[in-house]
Amino acid sequence: MRHLLSINDIDKDFAITILDTAHEMARVSEGAVKKLPTLRGKTVVNLFAEDSTRTRISFEAAAKRLSADVINFTAKGSSISKGESLKDTAQTLQALGADAVVIRHPASGAAHQLARGKWISGTVINAGDGTHEHPSQALLDAFTIRKHLRGGKGDLSGVEVAIVGDILHSRVARSNVLLLTKLGAKVTLVAPPTLIPPQAQAWPVTISYDFNSVLPHMDAIIMLRIQQERMSDLYFPSEREYSSLFGIDTERLALTKPHSILMHPGPMNRGLEISAEAADSPQSVVVEQVANGVSIRMAILYLFIAGSQESSNE
Amino acid sequence: MSESILIKGASIVGGDVKDVLIVDGVIAEISTSITSPEAVVISAKDLVLLPGFVDLHTHLREPGRENSETIATGSLAAARGGYVAVSAMANTLPVADTAAIVEQVSSIGKSVGLVDVFPIGAVTKGLAGEELADLASMAHSKARVRVFSDDGNCVSDPLLMRRALEYVKQFDGVIAQHAQDPRLTEGAQMNEGVIASTLGLKGWPAVAEESIIARDILLANTVGSKLHICHVTTKGGVEIIRWAKAQGMKVTAEVTPHHLLLTDVTAESYDPIFKVNPPLRTADDVEALRAALADGTIDIIGTDHAPHPVESKECEWQSAAFGMVGLETAFSILYSTLIKSGRISWARAAEVMSSAPAAIANYENHGRPISVGEPANLTLVNPAGVMVVDRAALASKSKNTPFHGMEFAGTVVATIFNGAITHKVGL
């Protein structure tokens, strides 16, 4: 059984296959009938133990466009606060006959445990686990970058990408570091030192505390959401100071290359890490990222569910 | 119950091969050839006889958490691991912070009768780190407590730690510190480093351990008290203790078998069986700990045997309990990592497993030399033995061993406690 738990589960060739497949899927979404029969008779369960309307509806739309039956299992905090274990939840899903489980969970590693616990037989797709990884977000980011900067083909060799903000707590950053570097891009992490993970120097990235000096070299800039509670945890002194050093606005946008794109996984804190003008600027591809998210998730579901079926029939 | 036991042809602490006759709980004779028709004979060809093992760091869970372990099941696990004495940590329910609780634990230990169960008293009431527990009452109780620890929690308040160190001097007590700065480890899940950063698990920095070790060594020397550092895990901690000992400062330190073997790489499985406090560190740290045990910087092996029920480990890493069982595997890990290669001698092994912990805790009748007239607390090991760890076969009530399926050289084949055989296998 093939699972998508981490970007480490896919090699460069397969990552490009996912991007190419998503390109085909995008055409379906643009057509009059936005539906393929590919996953007819398959059941996809969206197991969301954490609030995330965006990712859930994106996976739901993707599964429905592939004609799968979709069950939404929204169990916010159930395993931790109500005492139901992940194992019991998994066994419930197994009883429902899930061919694939898309899991979003507040605990890092929850998707791994679901896949390796031998509690379920279906494919597990990690839709974000704690502060660990969010592979489908990285794939949609790579897809968006490739479309704008590489004509929607091949890899990302030579592309310069900055990921800016709360790297420490970001699963989007972790998956993007793995995927973008795998595809040949050069990644620079930009954040105050308190929000850079310990020993991240060992990652294949450049680390900078100086946003302005990085901006002129970038082809793509991924802004990360900064959560209000980080301030009380002493990561930075004030919103104003954070915003002035690490937020993007039109003045900073003016330092970038004209062709560069501005990205954000959402939801945005307008006025904190991104100004309203920057978010709505021509360089911003934030809305397009959402559309690309559906195409990428269609590609993932297709390749991992239908793909697993074919290989198990061999 | 008294019986005569004749151990035939054992290598005494890895040296001369002798026969050892035990009568009425005491070593009665040691010579090249003894015959004793009424004695139970143990044929010990190619086996090594050591002073019975003493654990200074054991969680027996009774009272209050009998679903994990009881004094009876823990005592059996200890006997199987070659132990004749264990030290029951205070984090029970209720906490062992009064004379009544420590006497209860001691008394249940005696009635089980497989090992000496020495209760460790809490340093602070309820392990809350706010007020001193009734330290002298516990010391003067029938349980005669000499070791005090809030293990699981660090006594982080420097003034409270100073007072505890001073206070226990009146009965020659020792404070065993769980060195973990609480503020630096809020929500911490595993060793801080590139693996934790990549896994998205909150890191537990080495400095959180080392800063407390340094502070407490200085405090203990300021007031002239006995300090024992529980489960040292970092290279930096080892360096601080080495420095302190070189200055002539009084401190003793312990390392667990699991920290001598496993590293934070194990967390990549996200299997909470590897979740432990303090956390598994890096290969560099493991090497530093081995070197420190060999050169005397670290004094003893303490198991930190920490039983947990299945449901506490069969869950998300961040929700899982810290800890692993270790009584039954301790010797085999020590043998495989350090004795077999000759890095530590049998004499040093006898120190770290028996005489040094007994001396730190003032346990009379334990850690004694193997000679005539001494109490018969002995452990017989087989260097050629092989242990394949099977969690289902553990005597401990909990099965949370990280070593399941692993193969180790060196096995415990018999344990003799006060002249009675408490464990014997394949003899």
**pLDDT tens figures, A273-287:** 999 999 999 999 999
- Whether A103 maps to a domain, the answer reads yes
Which of A87, A107, A198 has the CB atom closest to B317's CB atom?
A107
- Whether B376 maps to a domain, the answer reads no
Q: Would strands B26-31 and B17-23 be described as parallel, antiparallel, or unpaired?
A: antiparallel
- Whether A199 maps to a domain, the answer reads yes
Residue A314 CB partners (closer than 8 Å, separation 6+): none
In this prediction, residue A125 carries a pLDDT of: 97
Structure tokens belonging to residue A259: 């062709």
| Closest CA in chain A for residue B314 | A87
CA dihedral A162, A165, A171, A174 (to 10 degrees): 40
Q: Do A85 and B270 touch (CB under 8 A)?
A: no
Residues in chain A with CB shorter than 8 Å from the CB of B275 are: none
Q: Do A132 and B199 touch (CB under 8 A)?
A: yes
CA dist A159 to A4, A137, A188, B46, B205, Å? Answer: 25, 18, 11, 67, 35
In this prediction, residue A15 carries a pLDDT of: 98
In this prediction, residue B77 carries a pLDDT of: 98
Name the residues of B annotated as catalytic: 304
Residues in chain B with CB shorter than 8 Å from the CB of A130 are: 200-201, 318
A84 and A148 belong to one structural domain: no
CA dist A112 to A6, A108, A303, A305, B199, Å? Answer: 9, 9, 19, 17, 11
Interface list for chain A against chain B, based on CB atoms closer than 8 Å: 79-80, 85-87, 105, 107-110, 112-113, 116-117, 129-133, 171, 174, 197-200, 202-203
Residue A287 CB partners (closer than 8 Å, separation 6+): none
Testing the interface with B: which of A108, A171, A178, A233 to mutate, by most B Cβ within 10 A?
A108
Interface of B with A in 297-336 (CB under 8 A): 311, 314-319
Judged against a pLDDT cut of 50, whether residue B2 lies above it is answered with yes
Distance between CA atoms of residues B184 and B231, nearest Å: 18
Q: Which residues of A123-140 are buried (b: 16+ CB within 10 A; e: fewer)?
A: bbbbbbbbbbbbbbbbbb
Residues in chain A with CB shorter than 8 Å from the CB of B208 are: none
The domain tally of chain B equals: 1
CA dihedral B84, B87, B91, B95 (to 10 degrees): 100
Distance between CA atoms of residues A178 and B220, nearest Å: 48
Residue given tokens 């591809």 in the structure block: A285
CA distance A181 to chain B (A): 15
- Render pLDDT for B204-254 as a digit per residue (tens, 0 to 9): 999 999 999 999 999 999 999 999 999 999 999 999 999 999 999 999 999
In this prediction, residue A48 carries a pLDDT of: 92
- Whether B34 maps to a domain, the answer reads no
What ipTM score was computed for the predicted complex, to two decimals? 0.94
Q: Would strands B4-12 and B17-23 be described as parallel, antiparallel, or unpaired?
A: antiparallel
Residues in chain A with CB shorter than 8 Å from the CB of B192 are: 198-199
Q: Do B198 and A203 touch (CB under 8 A)?
A: yes
In this prediction, residue A80 carries a pLDDT of: 45
A183 and A251 belong to one structural domain: yes
B151 φ/ψ sector (left φ>0, alpha ψ -120 to 50, else beta): beta
| Among B3, B81, B67, CA closest to B376 | B3
Please report, for the domain that includes residue A161, its CATH number: 3.40.50.1370
- Whether B98 maps to a domain, the answer reads yes
A143 and A267 belong to one structural domain: yes
Instruction: Please tell me whether residue B10 adopts helix, strand or coil conformation.
Output: strand
In this prediction, residue B274 carries a pLDDT of: 98
Q: Tell me whether B200 touches chain A (CB under 8 Å).
A: yes
Confidence of residue B361 (pLDDT cuts 50, 70, 90): very high
- Whether A276 maps to a domain, the answer reads yes
- Render pLDDT for B127-155 as a digit per residue (tens, 0 to 9): 999 999 999 999 999 999 999 999 999 99
Which residue spans within B73-192 are E strands per DSSP? 83-88, 116-119, 147-148, 174-177, 190-191
Boundaries of domain holding A44: 7-134+290-313
Element (H, E) at B284: helix B283-295
Which of A85, A105, A108 has the CB atom closest to B199's CB atom?
A108
Which of A113, A116, A198 has the CB atom closest to B197's CB atom?
A198
In this prediction, residue B427 carries a pLDDT of: 79
Element (H, E) at B53: strand B53-58
- Count CB neighbours of B60 within 10 A: 30
Q: Do A109 and B315 touch (CB under 8 A)?
A: no
What value does the mean pLDDT of chain A take?
Answer: 92
Q: pTM of this prediction?
A: 0.95
- Render pLDDT for A55-74 as a digit per residue (tens, 0 to 9): 999 999 999 999 999 999 88
Structure tokens belonging to residue A115: 């896949």
A140 and A285 belong to one structural domain: yes
In this prediction, residue A76 carries a pLDDT of: 63
Confidence of residue B98 (pLDDT cuts 50, 70, 90): very high
Q: Do B318 and A107 touch (CB under 8 A)?
A: yes
A277 and A301 belong to one structural domain: no
Confidence of residue B286 (pLDDT cuts 50, 70, 90): very high
In this prediction, residue A230 carries a pLDDT of: 76
DSSP string covering B332-387, please?
A: HHHIIIIITTTSS-HHHHHIIIIIHHHHHHT-TTSS--SSTTSB--EEEEEEEEEE
A129 and A30 belong to one structural domain: yes
Confidence of residue B425 (pLDDT cuts 50, 70, 90): very high
Confidence of residue B280 (pLDDT cuts 50, 70, 90): very high
Q: Do A199 and B197 touch (CB under 8 A)?
A: yes
Residues B74/B60, Cβ–Cβ less than 8 Å: yes
Testing the interface with B: which of A79, A86, A112, A234 to mutate, by most B Cβ within 10 A?
A112
Boundaries of domain holding B135: 51-361
CA distance B320 to chain A (A): 10
| Among A51, A6, A2, CA closest to A177 | A6
Q: Tell me whether B193 touches chain A (CB under 8 Å).
A: yes
- Whether B5 maps to a domain, the answer reads no
A30 and A88 belong to one structural domain: yes
Please compute the mean of the pLDDT values over residues B32-52 and round it to a whole number: 96
A190 and A123 belong to one structural domain: no
Q: Do A203 and B194 touch (CB under 8 A)?
A: yes
A85 and A12 belong to one structural domain: yes
Q: Do B203 and A198 touch (CB under 8 A)?
A: yes
A284 and A296 belong to one structural domain: no
* Segment among A35-49, A132-146, B63-77 with least mean pLDDT: A35-49
- Whether B248 maps to a domain, the answer reads yes
Instruction: Burial-class residue B300 by CB neighbours within 10 Å (0-12, 13-18, 19+).
Output: buried
Please report, for the domain that includes residue B150, its CATH number: 3.20.20.140
| Closest CA in chain A for residue B206 | A198
Which of A109, A171, A200 has the CB atom closest to B316's CB atom?
A109
Structure tokens belonging to residue A146: 């490739």
In this prediction, residue A311 carries a pLDDT of: 45
- CA A31 to chain CA centroid, nearest Å: 25
Q: Tell me whether B264 touches chain A (CB under 8 Å).
A: no
Judged against a pLDDT cut of 80, whether residue B165 lies above it is answered with yes
Q: Express as a percent the part of chain B with pLDDT over 70.
A: 100
Judged against a pLDDT cut of 60, whether residue A81 lies above it is answered with no
Structure tokens belonging to residue A251: 């003045």
What value does the mean pLDDT of chain B take?
Answer: 97
Residue given tokens 């330290």 in the structure block: B135
| Residue A221: strand pairing partners | A162, A262
Confidence of residue A312 (pLDDT cuts 50, 70, 90): very low
CB pairs under 8 A between A and B: 72
Q: Express as a percent the part of chain A with pLDDT over 90.
A: 79
Q: Tell me whether B284 touches chain A (CB under 8 Å).
A: no
- Hey, CA dihedral for B312, B313, B315, B316, is it positive or negative? positive
DSSP-assigned letter for residue A238: -
Distance between CA atoms of residues B358 and B50, nearest Å: 14
- Whether B16 maps to a domain, the answer reads no
- Whether A1 maps to a domain, the answer reads no
| Among A293, A229, A282, A288, CA closest to A260 | A282
Confidence of residue A309 (pLDDT cuts 50, 70, 90): low
Residue B151 CB partners (closer than 8 Å, separation 6+): B57, B89, B90, B91, B120, B176, B178, B230
Q: Where are the alpha helices (DSSP H) in chain A?
A: 12-30, 53-65, 78-81, 86-95, 110-116, 135-149, 171-182, 211-214, 229-232, 239-246, 250-253, 276-279, 286-301, 307-313
| Among B324, B313, B316, CA closest to B201 | B316
Judged against a pLDDT cut of 50, whether residue B1 lies above it is answered with no
Please compute the mean of the pLDDT values over residues A100-105 and round it to a whole number: 95
Q: Would strands B48-51 and B378-388 be described as parallel, antiparallel, or unpaired?
A: antiparallel
Q: Tell me whether B184 touches chain A (CB under 8 Å).
A: no
In this prediction, residue A313 carries a pLDDT of: 38
Structure tokens belonging to residue B325: 């069982």
Please compute the mean of the pLDDT values over residues B336-342 and round it to a whole number: 98
Residue A286 CB partners (closer than 8 Å, separation 6+): A262, A263, A264, A266, A268, A279
Structure tokens belonging to residue B403: 């070593």
Residues in chain B with CB shorter than 8 Å from the CB of A85 are: 311, 314-315
Distance between CA atoms of residues B161 and B175, nearest Å: 9
In this prediction, residue B5 carries a pLDDT of: 98
Residue given tokens 């059941």 in the structure block: A43
- Whether A106 maps to a domain, the answer reads yes
Judged against a pLDDT cut of 90, whether residue A52 lies above it is answered with no
Residues A76/A49, Cβ–Cβ less than 8 Å: yes
Task: Let me know the angle formed at the C-alpha of B122 by B116 and B123, rounded to the nearest 5 degrees.
Answer: 130
Judged against a pLDDT cut of 70, whether residue A308 lies above it is answered with no
CA dihedral A154, A157, A163, A168 (to 10 degrees): 100
| Closest CA in chain B for residue A174 | B198
- Whether B126 maps to a domain, the answer reads yes
| Among B273, B308, B315, CA closest to A87 | B315
| Closest CA in chain A for residue B184 | A233
Residue A231 CB partners (closer than 8 Å, separation 6+): A237, A238, A239, A242
The domain tally of chain A equals: 2
First-to-last alpha carbon distance for chain A, in angstroms, is: 13
| Closest CA in chain A for residue B204 | A198
Please compute the mean of the pLDDT values over residues B40-47 and round it to a whole number: 97
Confidence of residue A117 (pLDDT cuts 50, 70, 90): confident
A246 and A177 belong to one structural domain: yes
Judged against a pLDDT cut of 70, whether residue A200 lies above it is answered with yes
Residues B203/B281, Cβ–Cβ less than 8 Å: no
DSSP string covering B236-283, please?
A: HHHHHHHHHHHTT---EEEE-TGGGT--GGGGGG--GGG--SSPP--H
- Whether A2 maps to a domain, the answer reads no
Judged against a pLDDT cut of 70, whether residue A26 lies above it is answered with yes
